Chains A and B, each alone.
Chain A
Amino acid sequence: MTKVTLEVNGKKVSKEVPDHTLLSVFLRDNLNLTGTHVGCDTSQCGACVVHVNGKSIKSCSTLAADVEGSKVTTIEGLAKDGKLHPMQAAFKKTHGLQCGYCTPGMVMSAVDLLQTKKNPSDQEIREWLEGNICRCTGYQNIVAAVKEAATKM
């Protein structure tokens, strides 16, 4: 067992967990933050993307103990004061989601893209999202959402 202490969505949390606990499991099972999804177990689909110290990572292939002391932001921590983050609002406006399963990871990944590059081209958006699989939308409205958010962020 290992004691893992993190700051998750602005709140300090500390839990005693088995050494091999993945960050996705820690968030979902120990903190009940079930917005972070697991879709593939092999670090391909990106449904599990969260931010660790501001950068997007795949929480299904990260040990919770490895990010000890970090600041973690999940999809639940993105909206502030009851107001959707511009990326969330853009996904809603452009119909960038259907079943919603890949959405948390997609949104977290897209936020990191705009932090890295302010006004990405369509091709740059599509290449950045290479690590996030969506089976519903054909990606078109997701690309539209990122472009829409780029005008607001």
Chain B
Amino acid sequence: MASLVGSRVERKEDTRFLQGKGRYTADINIANQTYAVFVRSPHARAKIKSVDTSKALKSSGVVGVLTGKEIAEDKIGGLIAGWAIRSEDGSEMKVPANPPLAKDIANFVGEPIAVVFAETLDEAKEGAEKVKVDYKVLKAVVDPAEAMKSDAIHEGVDKNLCYDWLLGDRKAVDEAFAKADKIIKVDLINNRLVPNAMEPRACVVDYNIASEEITLYTTSQNPHLSRLVMSAFGGVAPENKLRVVAPDVGGGFGSKINVYNEEIVCSWASKKIERPIKWVAERTESFLTDTHGRDHVTHAELAVTNDGKFLGFKNETIANLGAYARVFGTVTPTYLFGPCATGVYVIPAAYSNVKAVYTNTAPVDAYRGAGRPEATYTIERLVEKAAMELGMDKTEIRMKNFPTQFPFKQTLVHTVDSGDYVAGLEKAKQMADYAGFEARRKKSEANGKLRGIGVSSYFEACGIAPSAAVMSLGCGVGLWESAEVRFNPTGQISVFTGAHSHGQSHDTTFAQIAADELGVPMENIDVVHGDTDKGTFGMGTYGSRSLTVGGIAIVNACKKIVAKGKRVAAKMLEVNEDEIEFKDGEFVALKSNKKKTIGEVAFACYLPGQRDEMKSPIPEGDEPGLIESSFFDPANFSFPAGSHICEVEIDPDTGNVKVEKYTAVDDFGRIVNPMIVEGQVHGGIAQGIGQALHENTQYDETGQLMTASYMDYTMPRADNFPEFNLGFTCTHATSNPLGVKGCGEAGAIASPPTVMNAVIDALGGQEISMPATAEKVWKACKSMKKSNAKAA
């Protein structure tokens, strides 16, 4: 039987999505439901003097109005930070309370203050307008560098500093820098982004009066984790009385990891008003309240020798956390960032220092790549600048500092199990026709255009798991993944996974894996996810972990099915277990060549009785049934890597940057479905180009979000991109039996520096910040002309 792993299998989920049969949270309606509309703070920072709900309560159709006072009285807990990070001086991070409804003070525009429930959405909106909140407006703290000099937003958080974190050895770095021929320096802004999953957040809650069970349908990347947080910290209901269902979810990119205020409030309120509740965010609500991404200000230095050897690295970064620390908020700028900041290079000494500060802006958390795009941008800008200042070829300097031996003990934390960085960059150069660039540059120049080429080599640590590692770094939970494989008597198989697909294609790839393991057609397999009442438990999908952690749990559960099947088949075929071979879905007695299919064995597992000649097929010590589960916790992260090359052409008259060519060569280890992996890379590159050229989140000095709709925030469109040219190299991961590495975030990690290096190359080395919009580039072109004129 041909292996399905490695094949371009068309997706199972497409049949429903393409016919409008997907079932997203906003598609769900429950009889007798009410509609929720939240009253949100219009101020970035304001004391809440009073909230008057009397007029709203009398408004037509209004069923109830609840505020921060009631939720505090009911002792419903708030939102949490999932990782405890310590400062360099050993002190614990400072984390303020984050109540689901603000009672005394509002700390960012959009923070919910109260909620109105009504019979119709229009009535709920009208009711919300009648809630009168009396504010005392305070001066907002918006700029992260200023925040460290400003009044504390939260009581007890001096200088708005959550932590001042250090990874690495300052003394060793000082010594390395003292020996350097040259110090390369960059000052970078990693622009704040809004993840912008196309499906706005939503929740529908149904409280069952008889069983006292709450069912929450929600747009989550990790329903089990949501239930855990809402139960353990929110105190909304015990875990066994709370069912969280994340049905079809229209994209996440990190923004749907967190449990949000609205989910806690609606779940609590549904029990209180004894009615189902539906809430669907408008796009502007998503802009205001979804967790944002990136937002770093970094100074970084690279110590080099004249012949291009790297001696030392350091960065000083201020990370904006926004108003509150959320689930991945504190780890994104630390352990997901610092360890990757030395990139794919042998650098003997390094440190990464990050100060995380609170501001009166929306909370910042994980967004595709989380920390690793910021790290890669830092080192790859430095390396490119080093090549420029030393007059070296930008690929040669990289090759010179790549490790060639694996496992590679990376400078700060990770031991990278496998990779071949030289092969990746060589392949990328060839595919991009790197050698032919100068001719293309001349051709562009002849047409009055500026052409530039940029390179970026990256590695990243993903497959966010090893519980032992993440818990030692401050994670509040273990990050294993679970699976259950249920072989039904009539041959259909249900594979339950704790991972969650919101575009990642698990229905297909997980079925491919299980089909290969069990030797059955993948049509017989249903992948079930996203419902705490169905799967065992699970940590969900983020950090490119579904396949490398969740997929392996499925493999291991399948192996247990086969192991039991072997024992049962041996008894059925009256031979010893070691005389049975399992191949292509059949258990074969090697001597007699008698066989039982896995379907026959499964059926027999459910018929353990005996009568006359018929004997029980269940061996002594085994139980009936054929259901197995596994919790997989890998020994290490997975480390995808690669090299990307981009060419841009700039029109100096307009400042318009056109991405002419984009080549990506990635190493994801063994690939389960090349078609799906290519799609993941395309999407990641597009988001990264969005960050480099188009997207920016802008608050004004009072903390008003100026980019709160698609009219103001530039979402990349189809005509912003060329056709991406993809290639792959392959070194197997050694930390899992499939040899797979995560692929979901790589594109977004590698592409911003690749594009910016190309833009800066076109501008003759002139620094420019992301996003390189036409306006900024046009200005840079003007100043280039001026300095050229002076030189002449």
Question: Which residues does A use to contact B, with CB under 8 Å?
Answer: 18, 28, 33-42, 44-45, 47, 74-76, 78-79, 84, 88, 91-93, 95, 97-104, 107, 122-123, 125-127, 129-130, 132-143
Taking a contact as CB atoms under 8 Å apart, the answer to whether A88 and B18 are in contact is yes
Mark each residue of chain B from 2 to 44: 1 if its CB lies under 8 Å from any CB of chain A, else 0: 0000000011011111111111101100000000000000000
Known: A45-B710, A134-B198. A125 touches B20 (CB 8 A): no
Q: How far is the CA of A39 from the CA of B24 in the complex (A)?
A: 12
Q: How far is the CA of A91 from the CA of B683 in the complex (A)?
A: 16
Taking a contact as CB atoms under 8 Å apart, the answer to whether A102 and B198 are in contact is yes
Q: How far is the CA of A100 from the CA of B505 in the complex (A)?
A: 10
B10 nearest in chain A by CB position: A92
A11 CB, nearest partner CB in chain B, Å: 15
- CB within 8 A of A139: which of B13, B678, B686? B686
- CB within 8 A of A140: which of B122, B682, B717? B682
Known: A40-B709, A135-B251, A141-B679. A103 touches B17 (CB 8 A): yes
Taking a contact as CB atoms under 8 Å apart, the answer to whether B718 and A42 are in contact is no
Is B719 interfacial (CB 8 A cutoff)?
yes
Range for the number of chain B residues in contact with chain A: 35 or more
Taking a contact as CB atoms under 8 Å apart, the answer to whether A99 and B21 are in contact is no
Could you list some 9 contacts between A and B, CB below 8 A?
A: A41-B282, A44-B711, A45-B198, A78-B19, A99-B503, A101-B22, A126-B718, A136-B679, A142-B718
Residues of B within 8 A of A123 (CB): 719
Q: How far is the CA of A67 from the CA of B747 in the complex (A)?
A: 43
Taking a contact as CB atoms under 8 Å apart, the answer to whether B723 and A140 are in contact is yes
Taking a contact as CB atoms under 8 Å apart, the answer to whether A136 and B19 are in contact is no
B252 CB, nearest partner CB in chain A, Å: 8
Residues of B within 8 A of A79 (CB): 19
Residues of A within 8 A of B251 (CB): 98-99, 101, 135-136
Q: How far is the CA of A74 from the CA of B742 in the complex (A)?
A: 37
Is B253 interfacial (CB 8 A cutoff)?
yes
Residues of B within 8 A of A45 (CB): 198, 283, 710, 715
Taking a contact as CB atoms under 8 Å apart, the answer to whether B198 and A88 are in contact is no
Q: How far is the CA of A137 from the CA of B23 in the complex (A)?
A: 20
Residues of A within 8 A of B699 (CB): none
Given A91-B14, A99-B198, A99-B251, 14 new contacts (CB under 8 A): A37-B199, A38-B200, A41-B283, A75-B19, A76-B19, A84-B19, A92-B14, A92-B18, A95-B676, A98-B504, A126-B718, A136-B198, A139-B718, A141-B678
Taking a contact as CB atoms under 8 Å apart, the answer to whether B198 and A35 are in contact is no
Q: Of B18, B21, B248, B723, which is in contact with the most chain A CB atoms at under 10 Å from its CB?
A: B18
Q: How far is the CA of A126 from the CA of B504 in the complex (A)?
A: 24
Q: How far is the CA of A129 from the CA of B724 in the complex (A)?
A: 18
Known: A135-B196, A135-B197, A141-B679. A75 touches B20 (CB 8 A): yes
Is B497 interfacial (CB 8 A cutoff)?
no
A142 nearest in chain B by CB position: B718
A95 CB, nearest partner CB in chain B, Å: 5
Q: How far is the CA of A64 from the CA of B759 in the complex (A)?
A: 47
Known: A95-B676, A99-B503, A100-B503. A130 touches B718 (CB 8 A): yes
A71 CB, nearest partner CB in chain B, Å: 17
Mark each residue of chain B from 674 to 685: 1 if its CB lies under 8 Å from any CB of chain A, else 0: 011011001111
Taking a contact as CB atoms under 8 Å apart, the answer to whether A44 and B723 are in contact is no
Taking a contact as CB atoms under 8 Å apart, the answer to whether B199 and A41 are in contact is no
Residues of A within 8 A of B656 (CB): none
A46 CB, nearest partner CB in chain B, Å: 10
Q: How far is the CA of A35 from the CA of B23 in the complex (A)?
A: 8
Residues of A within 8 A of B248 (CB): 99-100
Is B687 interfacial (CB 8 A cutoff)?
yes
- CB within 8 A of A101: which of B24, B282, B505, B682? B24
Mark each residue of chain B from 227 to 263: 1 if its CB lies under 8 Å from any CB of chain A, else 0: 0000000000000000000001111010000000000
Is B502 interfacial (CB 8 A cutoff)?
yes
Taking a contact as CB atoms under 8 Å apart, the answer to whether B13 and A100 are in contact is yes
Pairs A-B, 10 closest by C-beta atoms: A35-B20, A101-B250, A100-B17, A138-B686, A99-B503, A138-B682, A44-B710, A98-B503, A75-B20, A34-B27
Taking a contact as CB atoms under 8 Å apart, the answer to whether A125 and B718 are in contact is yes
Q: Of A35, A127, A132, which is in contact with the most chain B CB atoms at under 10 Å from its CB?
A: A35
Q: How far is the CA of A53 from the CA of B608 in the complex (A)?
A: 63
Taking a contact as CB atoms under 8 Å apart, the answer to whether B717 and A129 are in contact is yes
- CB within 8 A of B14: which of A28, A97, A101, A140? A97
Known: A79-B19, A135-B683, A138-B724. A42 touches B198 (CB 8 A): no
For the residues of A in contact with B, the DSSP-based class is loop
Residues of A within 8 A of B697 (CB): none
Q: How far is the CA of A143 from the CA of B212 in the complex (A)?
A: 50
- CB within 8 A of B20: which of A33, A39, A92, A126? A33
Taking a contact as CB atoms under 8 Å apart, the answer to whether B721 and A47 are in contact is no
Residues of B within 8 A of A136 (CB): 198, 251, 503, 679, 683
Taking a contact as CB atoms under 8 Å apart, the answer to whether A98 and B683 are in contact is yes
A77 CB, nearest partner CB in chain B, Å: 9
Q: Of B675, B679, B686, which is in contact with the most chain A CB atoms at under 10 Å from its CB?
A: B679
Taking a contact as CB atoms under 8 Å apart, the answer to whether B503 and A95 are in contact is no
B253 CB, nearest partner CB in chain A, Å: 7
Is B98 interfacial (CB 8 A cutoff)?
no
A124 CB, nearest partner CB in chain B, Å: 10
Is B698 interfacial (CB 8 A cutoff)?
no
Residues of B within 8 A of A99 (CB): 197-199, 248-251, 502-503
Taking a contact as CB atoms under 8 Å apart, the answer to whether A40 and B710 are in contact is yes
Q: How far is the CA of A29 from the CA of B309 in the complex (A)?
A: 64
Residues of A within 8 A of B17 (CB): 97, 100, 103
A148 CB, nearest partner CB in chain B, Å: 13
Q: Of A39, A92, A102, A125, which is in contact with the most chain B CB atoms at under 10 Å from its CB?
A: A39
Residues of B within 8 A of A98 (CB): 251, 503-505, 679, 683
B15 nearest in chain A by CB position: A92
- CB within 8 A of A122: which of B11, B710, B723? B723
Residues of B within 8 A of A107 (CB): 18
- CB within 8 A of A138: which of B122, B683, B715? B683
- Interface residues in B714-732 by Cβ distance below 8 A to A read 715, 717-719, 721, 723-724
B36 CB, nearest partner CB in chain A, Å: 16
B22 nearest in chain A by CB position: A100
Known: A40-B709, A101-B251, A135-B251. A127 touches B19 (CB 8 A): no
B285 nearest in chain A by CB position: A41
Q: How far is the CA of A142 from the CA of B504 in the complex (A)?
A: 16
B40 CB, nearest partner CB in chain A, Å: 16
Taking a contact as CB atoms under 8 Å apart, the answer to whether A36 and B679 are in contact is no
A102 nearest in chain B by CB position: B198
Is B284 interfacial (CB 8 A cutoff)?
yes
Residues of A within 8 A of B249 (CB): 99
Q: Of A41, A74, A98, A133, which is in contact with the most chain B CB atoms at under 10 Å from its CB?
A: A98
A136 CB, nearest partner CB in chain B, Å: 5
Taking a contact as CB atoms under 8 Å apart, the answer to whether B20 and A137 are in contact is no
Residues of B within 8 A of A130 (CB): 717-719
Residues of B within 8 A of A127 (CB): 718-719
- CB within 8 A of A39: which of B18, B199, B682? B199
Q: How far is the CA of A120 from the CA of B621 in the complex (A)?
A: 67
A38 CB, nearest partner CB in chain B, Å: 8
Q: How far is the CA of A8 from the CA of B10 in the complex (A)?
A: 30
Residues of A within 8 A of B196 (CB): 135
A93 nearest in chain B by CB position: B10
Q: How far is the CA of A42 from the CA of B284 in the complex (A)?
A: 10
A110 CB, nearest partner CB in chain B, Å: 11
- Interface residues in B206-235 by Cβ distance below 8 A to A read none
Residues of A within 8 A of B22 (CB): 35, 100-101
Q: How far is the CA of A94 from the CA of B631 in the complex (A)?
A: 34
- CB within 8 A of A35: which of B19, B253, B717, B719? B19
Q: How far is the CA of A137 from the CA of B14 in the complex (A)?
A: 14
A104 nearest in chain B by CB position: B20
Taking a contact as CB atoms under 8 Å apart, the answer to whether A138 and B711 are in contact is no
Q: How far is the CA of A68 from the CA of B141 in the complex (A)?
A: 51
Residues of B within 8 A of A44 (CB): 709-711, 715
Residues of B within 8 A of A141 (CB): 678-679, 682
